[in-house]
Amino acid sequence: MAERIDGKKISAEIKEELKTEVAALKEQGKEAALAVIQVGADPASSVYVRNKKKACEYIGIKSLSYELSETSTEQELLDLIEQLNKDDAVNGILVQLPLPEHMDEDKVIKAISPQKDVDGFHPQNVGALVIGQEGFVSCTPAGIIQLLKRSGIEIEGKNCVVVGRSNIVGKPMALLMLRENATVTVTHSKTRNLKEICKEADILIVAIGKKEFITKEYVKEGAVVIDVGIHRDENNKLSGDVKFDEVEPIASAITPVPGGVGPMTIAMLMNNCVSTMRK
Ligand code: GUN
């Protein structure tokens, strides 16, 4: 039976460490402020934004809220970002995604100063990750590396299969596992023989966005299984991209949903914010 990797506990540990570090940095006169921009009032986004602001408060950094209406123009958002880019009191800028359809997400992300892009979405930060240079790293994949390391799971030399190739999770995840010296295979919806490829994985990371897609037929006995998916059914019950009940008995370690990968994203966002104070 698999060990359950407790993301809630590990994220709480990280936030505790950051809180202590922030207090020490403040003693040296260093401050940090995160600007959080939400456009419209998508309920899921509102929950995420609220939790991000709560985490800031907990670790001792300032959060500044900017709420733009659903009908605001792309130019209004770009102007706000420009103003925050120039503001020396603002260290981090986060635009909650998704944006309304009339806005170009790529253009908005590119408008954020790479030095303040705590989400790690700007092409300059993505490029830095590709060539192993310093920069902000996307929070969910960075959180997964922490989950593995803090659970004592060795990455070096392991066969890692990533299912999904999104810019936010799949692609940076593959690059981070490569940086940790895993042998990495990236798979996606057009991959042939997906089951066979997944079954070769020592570490299987699933971010495909399909509810309970990964059944036991995809998993090697003793594999580590990381589930990035989150799906809510009509009774508000959460499940992931992995059929947990079926996979748990054959894996050596597995992340539950909820309480696995989810809490790590905010912990790593806080780490990215604190990193702006360390300089
Ligand atoms: N929407 C879903 N995930 C994220 C995230 O990590 N950052 C931002 N800004 N928006 C998101």
What's the CATH superfamily of 139-262? NAD(P)-binding Rossmann-like Domain (3.40.50.720)
Flag whether pLDDT at 279 surpasses 90.
no
* Delimiting residues of CATH 3.40.50.720 domain(s) in the chain: 139-262
> What digits encode the pLDDT tens for the residues 144-153?
999 999 999 9
Q: For ligand 1, what atom is nearest to the CA of residue 95?
A: 9
Looking at every residue in the chain, the average pLDDT score rounds to 97
Q: For ligand 1, what atom is nearest to the CA of residue 140?
A: 6
Separation between Cα atoms, residue 214 and residue 110, nearest integer Å: 34
To test the ligand 1 pocket, which listed residue (51, 96, 171) has its Cβ within 8 A of the most ligand atoms? 96
Which residue, by CA, sits nearest to atom 1 of ligand 1?
97
Whether this prediction's pTM lies above 0.85 is answered by yes
* Delimiting residues of CATH 3.40.50.10860 domain(s) in the chain: 28-113
Separation between Cα atoms, residue 173 and residue 141, nearest integer Å: 5
* Alpha-helical runs (H) found in 60-118: 74-86, 105-111
70 Cβ contact list (under 8 Å, min separation 6)? 39, 40, 41, 100
Closest CA to 88 of 171, 134, 141, 32: 32
Separation between Cα atoms, residue 68 and residue 78, nearest integer Å: 12
Domain spanning 28-113, CATH architecture: 3-Layer(aba) Sandwich (3.40)
CA dihedral 194, 197, 202, 207 (to 10 degrees): -30
Flag whether pLDDT at 175 surpasses 90.
yes
**Mind telling me the catalytic residues?**
52, 96, 119
> What digits encode the pLDDT tens for the residues 206-253?
999 999 999 999 999 999 999 999 999 999 999 999 999 999 999 999
pLDDT of residue 257: 98
Q: For ligand 1, what atom is nearest to the CA of residue 97?
A: 10
């890692």: which residue's tokens? 160
- Report whether residue 230 contacts ligand 1, using a CB cutoff of 6 Å: no
